[in-house]
Amino acid sequence: MDLQLKGRRALVTGSSSGIGEAVARMLADEGAAVVVHGRNRERAEKVAADINAAGVAIGELSTDALAASVHAEACAALGGNIEILINNAGGSSTGNTARPPIEISTDDYISNYHANALAAVRLCQLCVPDMTAAKFGRIINVSSAVAVQPNNLGADYSGAKSALNNFTVSLAGSLKGLGITANTLSPGIIMVDGLLRFGRQKFGDPDMSFEEVSERFAAEKVFDMPPVGRLGIPRDLAVVACMLASPLSGFITGANYRVDGGQVRSLN
Ligand SMILES: NC(=O)c1ccc[n+]([C@@H]2O[C@H](COP(=O)([O-])OP(=O)(O)OC[C@H]3O[C@@H](n4cnc5c(N)ncnc54)[C@H](OP(=O)(O)O)[C@@H]3O)[C@@H](O)[C@H]2O)c1
């Protein structure tokens, strides 16, 4: 199937590793012009060279000015406006999702809100005017299964992701008839490098593949496996991101796509 992504201009934030890297790679494979983003230039340039990207855009997204600089660098590399915006950068800004709600400082709630909600808000504010002029845009905000099914721990992170879902539905509704769609993509537990390293160390084999580590996690019940019986891999997300980024997906907006192997027990 031709997703009609050839030549489309895309920015994938946080694409120097993990889910973002897989999304950038698949978009590039589909012929899109992709800008790889991260805070570390060396890592981003390595991925960009590997996937034959249009270029890189480097920097934090934690203030309006920093996000504007990333946006400008991306547009320069693409030689035009961003048509496909994948707001993927994020994760727990404190690296600690193991605290009960009342033990998390208000500063940590704010910091996670910046990293997981406002980073995406800022880039939407920067991209939507051009998308409106062009009458075409695809916005995909990477959220999390915990946005709709929070754990008892890590409410600073999960609450920020819930806000991102809320923002996305509002945004989609506000862009009536403009040819712009906005959706969230919500991963379950996905085997990114950090988890892979943990697994290889735990099982004492530095050469284990993603799939092998995931299978051992399942066999030894390290994680509660979702109904599909394995953890996700970044490519699982990339498939859905490319589908939502396609011009063929113009009737899908304000939706939340769960890519979690069935982890979230919900009718939608
Ligand atoms: N993996 C999972 O199980 C899982 C589950 C649910 C949701 N998610 C969500 O999926 C997204 C990607 O996660 P991942 O697991 O693929 O993460 P990852 O492998 O750690 O990659 C994170 C990417 O984002 C960049 N980044 C991180 N914080 C940033 C910041 N403050 N400003 C700018 N760039 C930043 C990193 O690049 P640099 O380090 O170079 O800056 C890297 O490219 C996140 O939004 C996360 O919340 C992941």
Reported confidence tier of residue 27, pLDDT bands at 50, 70, 90: very high
Query: Is pLDDT of 223 > 90?
Result: no
For the Cβ of 261 lying below 6 angstroms from any atom of ligand 1, the answer is no
Q: What angle do CA 85, 87, 261 make, to 5 degrees?
A: 115
SS3 63: coil
Whether the Cβ atoms of residue 164 and residue 143 lie closer than 8 Å to each other: yes
pLDDT in tens, 175-192: 999 999 999 999 999 999
Query: Is pLDDT of 145 > 80?
Result: yes
Q: What is the mean pLDDT of residues 92-107?
A: 95
Per CATH, domain 9-190+233-257 is 3.40.50.720: yes
Q: What is the mean pLDDT of residues 31-43?
A: 98
Rounded CA-CA distance 138/135 in Å is 11
127's tokens: 């991209």
Query: Is pLDDT of 211 > 90?
Result: no
Distance 18 CA to ligand 1 centre (A): 7
159's tokens: 């609450």
Rounded CA-CA distance 167/219 in Å is 38
Which residue lies with its CA nearest to atom 25 of ligand 1?
14
pLDDT value for 224:
84
150's tokens: 């929070």
**Ligand 1 pocket mutation, candidates 12, 39, 70, criterion most atoms within 8 A of CB:** 39
Q: What is the mean pLDDT of residues 129-154?
A: 98
Whether the Cβ atoms of residue 126 and residue 243 lie closer than 8 Å to each other: no
Locate the domains of the chain by residue range. 9-190+233-257, 191-231
Query: Is pLDDT of 209 > 80?
Result: yes
Q: Which helix (H) or strand (E) holds 211?
A: helix 210-219
The residue among 86, 180, 178 whose CA lies nearest residue 140 is: 86
Q: What angle do CA 202, 146, 103 make, to 5 degrees?
A: 80
Strand partners, 84: 10, 138
* Lowest mean pLDDT, pick from 21-30, 62-71, 159-168, 208-217: 208-217
Q: Which atom of ligand 1 is nearest to the CA of 89?
A: 24
Rounded CA-CA distance 248/255 in Å is 15
Which residue lies with its CA nearest to atom 28 of ligand 1?
90
Q: Which helix (H) or strand (E) holds 267?
A: none
Catalytic residue, from 109, 113, 157, 257: name it. Answer: 157
**Ligand 1 pocket mutation, candidates 64, 66, 118, 190, criterion most atoms within 8 A of CB:** 190
For the Cβ of 19 lying below 6 angstroms from any atom of ligand 1, the answer is yes
Q: What is the mean pLDDT of residues 34-62?
A: 98
pLDDT value for 218:
85
Q: Which atom of ligand 1 is nearest to the CA of 115?
A: 31
For the Cβ of 39 lying below 6 angstroms from any atom of ligand 1, the answer is yes
Does 257 participate in catalysis according to the annotation? no
